[in-house]
């Protein structure tokens, strides 16, 4: 674990310095990213200029969903988002290089092409979350605030696990980045809205198959005092952290199996 973090830090620093070799490009893409993510929430506020509630949720309530998943996904994307480019390294064989170093491969692969500009999404998510927390009709007791904080962190861990599992799948599929994106980026968009808006089968899928519902839906709905569309025991609202741990373990196993089946390329 410690080795992994040290390796991650080393590789991240190398990529940050590589990025700084092209300063102008870095500044421009960072600004562009920030603008794009900012506009993302503007579309939701525009929607609310015509309606008062979405699926029974007010704007601050939707913003609470939006803010929690954005920060979780932003953290995961910053820390492990590069894993969706792993397919390229597997196909062209440059993944070999990572295997030749005496350092944890997952840490190297996660830090690969580390992009500081992804901070933009976290900052924007935190801003929306802060606004939502001050405006929703919730009494922020210590347990409620603690649940929200824990939710954001376990949500990030669940998204990280999805990135790792997706990367592991790319060892077999060669390039499955799009499937992975549908779960990560797609999941993030899904979780920005109340679950009542979606078909029950879809909600079942993200509750029981890819447990994205634990990223924010269940705990945030609990904080807001709203019912979840599926019939779940009340303690399910607090399962975020254990589900995150289980996801990470499963993703770790998938990653190991993936590496074992790595075939490299011809030369």
* Residue 264 C-beta: closest distance to another protein, Å: 6
When the beta carbons of 10 and 27 are compared against another protein, the nearer one is 10
When the beta carbons of 43 and 267 are compared against another protein, the nearer one is 267
Give CA separation, 152 vs 126, 157, 185, 212, in Å: 10, 9, 16, 12
Kindly calculate the radius of gyration of the chain based on its CA atoms and give it in whole angstroms: 19
Instruction: Return the closest-CA partner of residue 145 out of 63, 220, 41, 255.
Output: 220
Count the alpha carbons within 13 Å of 94 in the hemisphere toward its beta carbon.
9
Among 96, 172, 174, 189, binds another protein (CB under 8 A): 96
Give CA separation, 145 vs 76, 133, 213, in Å: 21, 9, 19
Tokens of 159: 């998204």
Q: For residues 18 and 12, is the Cβ–Cβ distance under 8 A? A: no
- Residue 104 makes contact with another protein by CB under 8 A: yes
- Residue 7 makes contact with another protein by CB under 8 A: yes
When the beta carbons of 20 and 146 are compared against another protein, the nearer one is 20
Among 97, 141, 181, 182, binds another protein (CB under 8 A): 97
* Residue 48 C-beta: closest distance to another protein, Å: 45
- Residue 182 makes contact with another protein by CB under 8 A: no
- Residue 1 makes contact with another protein by CB under 8 A: no
Q: x/- string (CB under 8 A) for another protein, residues 17-56? A: xx--xx----------------------------------
- Residue 93 makes contact with another protein by CB under 8 A: yes
When the beta carbons of 100 and 142 are compared against another protein, the nearer one is 100
Report the b/e string of 14-33 with b at 16+ CB within 10 A: ebeeebeeeeeebeebbeeb
Range in contact with another protein (rule: CB under 8 A) among 130-138, 154-162, 210-218, 257-265: 257-265
Site size for another protein, by CB under 8 A?
24
103: left (phi over 0), alpha (psi -120 to 50) or beta: beta
The rounded distance, in Å, linking the Cα atoms of 123 and 101 is 34
When the beta carbons of 11 and 236 are compared against another protein, the nearer one is 11
Which residues contact another protein by CB under 8 A?
7, 10-11, 14, 17-18, 21-22, 93-94, 96-97, 99-104, 260, 262-264, 266-267
């Amino acid at each position: 674990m410690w080795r992994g973090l040290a390796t991650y830090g080393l590789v991240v620093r190398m990529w940050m310095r590589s990025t700084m070799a092209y300063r102008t490009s870095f500044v421009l893409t960072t600004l562009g990213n920030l603008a794009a993510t900012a506009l993302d929430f503007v579309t939701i506020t525009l929607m609310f200029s015509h309606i008062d509630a979405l699926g029974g949720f007010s704007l601050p309530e939707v913003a609470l969903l939006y803010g929690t998943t954005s920060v979780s996904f932003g953290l995961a994307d910053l820390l492990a988002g590069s894993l969706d480019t792993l397919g390229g390294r597997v196909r062209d064989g440059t993944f070999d290089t990572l295997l030749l170093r005496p350092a944890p491969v997952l840490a190297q692969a996660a830090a690969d092409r580390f992009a500081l500009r992804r901070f933009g999404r976290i900052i924007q998510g935190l801003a929306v979350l802060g606004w939502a927390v001050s405006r929703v009709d919730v009494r922020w007791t210590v347990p409620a605030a603690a649940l929200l904080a824990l939710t954001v962190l376990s949500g990030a861990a669940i998204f990280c696990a999805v990135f790792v599992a997706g990367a592991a799948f790319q060892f077999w599929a060669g390039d499955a980045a799009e499937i992975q994106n549908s779960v990560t980026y797609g999941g993030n968009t899904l979780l920005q809205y109340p679950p009542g808006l979606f078909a029950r089968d879809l909600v079942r899928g993200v509750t029981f198959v890819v447990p994205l519902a634990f990223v924010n839906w269940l705990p945030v709905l609990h904080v807001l005092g709203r019912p979840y569309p599926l019939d779940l025991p009340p303690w399910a609202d607090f399962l975020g952290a254990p589900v995150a741990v289980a996801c990470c373990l499963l993703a770790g196993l998938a990653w190991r199996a993936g590496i074992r089946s790595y075939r490299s390329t011809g030369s």
